Amino acid sequence: METTKLPPSSPSSPTTGFLVPSAEKVDGFPRRSMRRARQRRSHSSSQFRYQSSQVELTPLPLLKDAPVAELHDLFCKKLQQCCVMFDFLDCVADLKGKEIKRAALNELVESVATSRGVLIEPLYPEAIKMISVNIFRTLPPSENPEFDPEEDEPTLEASWPHLQLVYEFFLRFLESLDFQPSMAKRYVDQKFVLQLLELFDSEDPREREYLKTILHRVYGKLLGLRAYIRKQINNIFLRFIYETEHFNGVAELLEILGSIINGFALPLKSEHKQFLVRVLIPLHTARSLSIFHAQLAYCVVQFMEKDATVTEYIIRGLLKYWPKTCTQKEVMFLGEIEEILDVIEPSQFIRIQEPLFKQIAACISSPHFQVAERALYFWNNEYILSLIEENCRVILPLVFATLYRVSKEHWNQTIVSLIYNVLKTFMEMNSKLFDDLTASYKVEKQKELKRERERTELWRGLEEHQERRMQMLTDAARNQRNLQERDKMSSSTCHTVLLNTGVHMPLLGLGTDKLVSPDIVHQAVDAALAAGYRAFDSATVYQNESALGQALKKLLPKYGLTREDVFITSKLGPKDQGERAKEAALRSLAQLDLSYIDLYLIHWPGTQNRSVSDQRNSGNRAQSWAVLEELHAQGTLKAIGVSNYTPAHMRELMQSCKVPPALLQVEFHPQLCQDELRSVCKEYGVCFQAYSSLGRGDLLHGPVVLEVAKNCGRSPAQVLLRWAVQQGVPVLPKSSNPDRIRENAEIFDFSISDSDMDRLSALECSHRYCWDPSQVV
């Protein structure tokens, strides 16, 4: 027989605002993670439900003062009184009525929680009617279809002062010692449960917390509804996966399911196994997986602990849906795999080890260090290590080539150290097999290098031939295209700043940090060119120079543009400072597939793996700058500059350089005005350029920024960008969203008043959203 474990109650209501004695606990679901929600917007679906011809409420006698003979009649009247709805968007309307209803609800909650004999049969329909009238409503459409719970604030229910007490009453009603499931099932039926489940799509997290606990109580007390509840949750998930991709209450429903799964009887029914394979595993494909992954992984592990035979279905399902381009999801998948391996049976491990460790090998070779690091941490788990040791002859050949290659090539020293430890562990497990694989790898590597040289030479010849052909076509049509392009140029391209090299650089450029996927880079560049952007900012550490170069090569002809019509910036990475600077700069040139780079910067003043106080940083800066001067003299780098330099770094550079820097790129926004750096740049004739102009969500939603935006009739992002360019500071807003890219370009057809400019500048508080250059190298 199936059972369900009702979790112990928590010391207070799921939300603040109504405190109850510690002995009367409510929420039994421990939070696995807690986000700080900034409450900004509110809406009320009750505005569509309140009575236009409002009933005038009058206070009723207190329940505690009522004679026993009149108690139930008075309780019923108060329930009926609480069926009157109010409009909470009008804060001053019906204040007396709202207070009477609030007091009545508080009395009802207290009476049900503390008194015996209150819940008699005639009160059940009245109680359920009052609950239904208050909580069941059509949820309003989301004000932000692209709502991101990690960055945006939730939309809160304006009628919460009453709605919370109604939920509290419902919860106390279900938990009362007088509660009779046989009576309640006549009114809490399938229709009621379906409406209750639909409320889980509420954007208000406080409401979803109550609904989670209430639904679990209903599941535990009304046994006849259990199958129906599971079926409807199944339908919600299927609709979420294959149709809408939007449902706010997925995490809460999964928490309930975790407890339900724990109570499944053995052997598992076929319907439960189908739910695992057809619903829980495909849920991993959701774009919003990070919101509910902890709860989902818990449910999956619960299934495994119930029945080990489902292990192969789970592992192969995760491998089927393994993320290809989202490293954040890949780290989550690896964490879930480790949770599974922690409880896997050795007999089941043998069945999945080959496909699993092929995928783990692919993760180890990932250029994203967090993915590689998470995969290598498997060897720190004693139980997993014991499974690997038992099956070393199968697993070592699957991962050896990857481990050996990545140990020589990976850019992150932490990853290299972890790989050395893993290789040492394997060598201790089976030294003979390790030596055989080492010799075999070296032979195969030589053959591969030979094939690669032959391939490279062939392709170089083909590319040179194609380049000559394209150059001929380009030269023949260049003048005509340039004339056409000047007529088409949008207003944003007419705004430039003059560098000390005599070249005009656009005031607006597209930042490409975090844009790694070639498809996303292509989409962003396409939208930017269409919106009038003519400057693009990349860097070695962004790992997208090749994607940017390919996107420009494909898209410039689409808009009738040539290489000379765009301004490309890239940067020397911290690990390439010093003697490797020339090789890195030429590698950037090759990755971008260009004959020259318009502007090349030293990304950070320090060298990777050296402390801030290490005197060798100064020598590496000087050596790197000398290399940039040499490439500038050759015409490979049209202009050179620096990024994240402090005033001290700038003065040091100006004392020794032969070619002065054309530009300094640093973090700049109203909370970090960089007055000293700007003065230094002005003194030396160096262009001052901003990144992170939009800060984070709290800067965009600050009251001063919102008020200035309202005054200008523009978005907060446009105001922050305009604040910079109105001071002659070029900006590099980054986005892959075409609508936001277009919005960010529309900053040259309005201006901010002097008083509003001063108000924005007064936000200065030396607050950084990015790393502090004086502390990070």
Mean pLDDT, 10 residues at a time, the chain of 777 residues: 42 38 40 42 50 69 84 92 89 87 94 88 94 92 70 83 95 94 94 96 93 95 95 95 92 94 89 93 94 95 92 95 94 96 94 96 95 96 95 94 92 94 93 92 89 92 89 71 51 74 95 92 96 96 95 94 95 91 95 96 83 77 94 95 94 92 96 94 95 84 93 95 96 94 94 94 91 72
* Nearest alpha-carbon partner for 724 in 746, 691, 700: 691
In degrees and rounded to multiples of 5, residue 511 shows phi and psi of -80, 140
Show contacts of 66-71: CB within 8 Å, 24+ apart.
Answer: 71/118
Flag whether 642 is in a domain.
yes
Flag whether 508 is in a domain.
yes
Flag whether 558 is in a domain.
yes
For 197, residues 6+ apart whose C-beta sits below 8 A from its C-beta are: 215, 229, 232, 233, 236
User: What CATH number does the domain containing 158 carry?
Assistant: 1.25.10.10
Helix (H) or strand (E) holding 22: none
Q: Which residues pair with 498 in a beta bridge?
A: 504
Q: Give me the pLDDT at residue 13, please.
A: 41
CB atoms within 10 A of CB 457: 10
User: What CATH number does the domain containing 571 carry?
Assistant: 3.20.20.100
Q: Which class for 770: exposed (0-12), middle (13-18), buried (19 or more C-beta within 10 A)?
A: middle
Flag whether 279 is in a domain.
no
pTM of the model: 0.54
3 state SS for 526-566: HHHHHHCCCEEECCHHHCCHHHHHHHHHHHCHHHCCCHHHC
Length in residues, the chain: 777
Out of 124, 298, 542, 645, which one is annotated catalytic?
542
Given 168, 189, 210, which residue is the final one in a domain?
A: 189
Does residue 313 have an active-site annotation?
Answer: no
3 state SS for 581-595: HHHHHHHHHHHHCCC
CB atoms within 10 A of CB 205: 19
Task: Name the DSSP letter for residue 15.
Answer: S
Work out the widest C-alpha separation in the chain, in whole angstroms.
102
Assess contact for 535 and 505: CB atoms under 8 A. yes
Instruction: Give residue for tokens 């500048």.
Output: 761
Angle at 89 between CA 88 and CA 93, to 5 degrees: 65
Q: Give me the pLDDT at residue 673, please.
A: 94
Assess contact for 265 and 226: CB atoms under 8 A. no
Q: Cα–Cα distance between 144 and 485 in angstroms, integer?
A: 37
Given 189, 217, 241, which residue is the final one in a domain?
A: 189
* Nearest alpha-carbon partner for 576 in 542, 608, 617, 538: 608
Q: Give me the pLDDT at residue 131, please.
A: 96
Q: Give me the pLDDT at residue 1, please.
A: 44
Could you tell me the residue range of the domain that residue 137 belongs to? 40-189
Q: Cα–Cα distance between 195 and 319 in angstroms, integer?
A: 36
Assess contact for 372 and 415: CB atoms under 8 A. yes
Q: Cα–Cα distance between 484 and 481 in angstroms, integer?
A: 5
Q: 568 in helix, strand or coil?
A: strand
Assess contact for 276 and 304: CB atoms under 8 A. no
Flag whether 17 is in a domain.
no
Flag whether 33 is in a domain.
no
Q: Cα–Cα distance between 471 and 496 in angstroms, integer?
A: 28
Q: Give me the pLDDT at residue 68, please.
A: 81
Flag whether 224 is in a domain.
no
- Domain total of the chain: 2
Query: Sheet containing 640-643: which strands, arranged edge to edge?
Result: 510-511, 535-537, 567-572, 599-602, 640-643, 663-667, 687-691
Parallel/antiparallel/unpaired status of strands 496-498 and 504-506: antiparallel
Cite the beta strand spans of 242-319 per DSSP E.
Answer: none
Flag whether 547 is in a domain.
yes
Given 148, 170, 189, which residue is the final one in a domain?
A: 189
- How many angstroms from the chain centroid is the CA of residue 112? 43
